[in-house]
Amino acid sequence: MHNNIVSPSQTKVILDIATFDDLFQRKDSRGNIYYEIENAVIDCEIPYEHFQNILFLRCTNTIFSSQFVVDFKSTNCISFNIVEFNERLSIRGTLKENSDFRTVTFHQASSISRLTCLKGFYFQNITIHKSVEFFIENQFVGEATFSNLTKVNDNEGLFFYDTTFKDKVYFRNIDDQYLSLNSCKFESILSLSFVHLRELFLSATIFNSTIETNQVSFRQGAREVFRQLKHQMLINNNKIDALEFHKLEMNAFRTEIEKRKWYNPDKLILLLNSISNSHGTNPWVGIVFVLSVSIIGFFPQLLVLKDSYFEWGWYGFESQLLAIGTTIKLWINFINPAHSINFLGDYNPRAITYIWDNIWRIFIGYGYYQTIQGFRKYGRL
């Protein structure tokens, strides 16, 4: 396992804290202490208060074979790059500058609790072997990013509790995991991008800003997640984003009922709402719907006229223009839902034409209504 990170020829196995300090402790010109650890296997427990008030801690190509439980009481920053924690990790304290975990593996249940990050925090390319209860009672003042998380052995996922994000927070490229944000508070934007979760938990979560989504899906509880997000946007009087989550909620509901028995009236209702105005959010979809159903409903009637005004084939340019003009005139009449039942009377229509006409004028009228609702989307909810 060690060879995956540290080259055997360069490995320094540290068995006691005195050796650890001798090899990795440094001081700047003002006497401030900092640590730079590289190509090492740390096989000793570091005292809980050992890193209090240091300038920074930087670890590269390092394995911690013993538990790492420390307090960064007042530290500029910490950086872990290509690091494995074979035992429990638990840290807390205050970080004044940008800090990061990049390409880090956790083999045991771990936590970051009561940590205050005054600048950026980056948690990227993470491998989790067991349930990692991260980020309990933390405060992120600067921007935070959590991306490229990989779970192993079907662990439960990544958990946040009672954590405050004061600046924008990004969740990116997270696949097939549970993500819990219970009792968290987002004072700026929450961005979810390429996030495909088993389930997202949002109990007592507060959003004081908007939520950005791009390529987001949930294997379980999708409708409830989008309902909660819609509700949070309405609490913030953010009707624009609430409409978007309403659409996603309806799409999730449609996916749910598709798995039920083959007959369900809600399936048709949700399908029509989707293709007629995208659940009240897009009037241009409504216009396309009206034009489409009018064409589908109109042209079959022309094919069954007893005395048709046109014939198939080429009979001269003037004849073609006359037939096209008549067709457009009749079609414009047809897309008026209140058109005369006998608008094709001059061409001796068949009886089935009247039945067909009444069916399709219902769809055209429905399309107009849905288009109007789409234009009124900001007055809804």
Q: For the chain, what is the HEC assignment?
A: CHHHCCCCCCCEEECCHHHHHHHHEEECCCCCEEEEEEEEEECCCCCCCCCCCCCEEEEEEEEECCCEEEEEEEECEEEEEEEEECCCEEEEEEECCCEEEEEEEECCCCEEEEEEECCCEEEEEEEECCCECCCECCEECCCEEEEEEEECCCCCEEEEECCEECCCEEEEEEECCEEEEECCEECCCEEEEEEEECEEECCCCEECCCEEEEEEEECCCHHHHHHHHHHHHHHCCCHHHHHHHHHHHHHHHHHHHHCCCCCCHHHHHHHHHHHHHCCCCCHHHHHHHHHHHHHHHHHHHHCCCCCCCCCCCCCCHHHHHHHHHHHHHHHHHHCCCCCCCCCCHHHCCCHHHHHHHHHHHHHHHHHHHHHHHHHCHHHCC
Q: Which residues of the chain have pLDDT under 50?
A: 1-3, 8-9
Give 233's strand partners: none
Residues contacting residue 61 through CB under 8 Å, at least 6 positions apart: 5, 6, 38, 39, 40, 81, 82, 83
Residue type, position 112, single letter: I
What pLDDT score was predicted for residue 280?
84
Give 94's strand partners: 116
Output the six-digit token pair for 267: 């399936």
Residues contacting residue 367 through CB under 8 Å, at least 6 positions apart: 276, 286, 289, 290, 293
> Could you tell me if residue 31 is left (phi over 0), alpha (psi between -120 and 50 degrees) or otherwise beta?
left
Alpha-carbon distance 159 to 342, whole Å?
A: 67
Residue type, position 77, single letter: C
Output the six-digit token pair for 347: 């061409």
Phi, psi of 87, deg, nearest 5: -120, -170
Instruction: Give CA separation, 377 vs 129, 147, 178, 206, 242, in Å.
Output: 46, 34, 33, 25, 11
What pLDDT score was predicted for residue 314?
64
Alpha-carbon distance 235 to 239, whole Å?
A: 9
What pLDDT score was predicted for residue 3?
41
Output the six-digit token pair for 74: 């007042």
Output the six-digit token pair for 317: 């340019």
- How many other C-beta atoms are found inside a 10 Å radius of the C-beta of residue 248? 21
Residues contacting residue 331 through CB under 8 Å, at least 6 positions apart: 294, 295, 298
What pLDDT score was predicted for residue 58?
95
Domain map (residue ranges) of the chain: 269-379
- How many other C-beta atoms are found inside a 10 Å radius of the C-beta of residue 320? 12
Alpha-carbon distance 164 to 359, whole Å?
A: 56
Given strand 157-161, what is the order of strands in its sheet?
A: 157-161, 178-182, 199-201
- Give which of 99, 92, 58 is closest to 74, Cα–Cα: 92
pLDDT digits (tens, 9 = 90+) for 257-279: 777 666 677 778 888 888 888 88
Alpha-carbon distance 192 to 179, whole Å?
A: 12
What pLDDT score was predicted for residue 158?
82
Output the six-digit token pair for 166: 């004061």
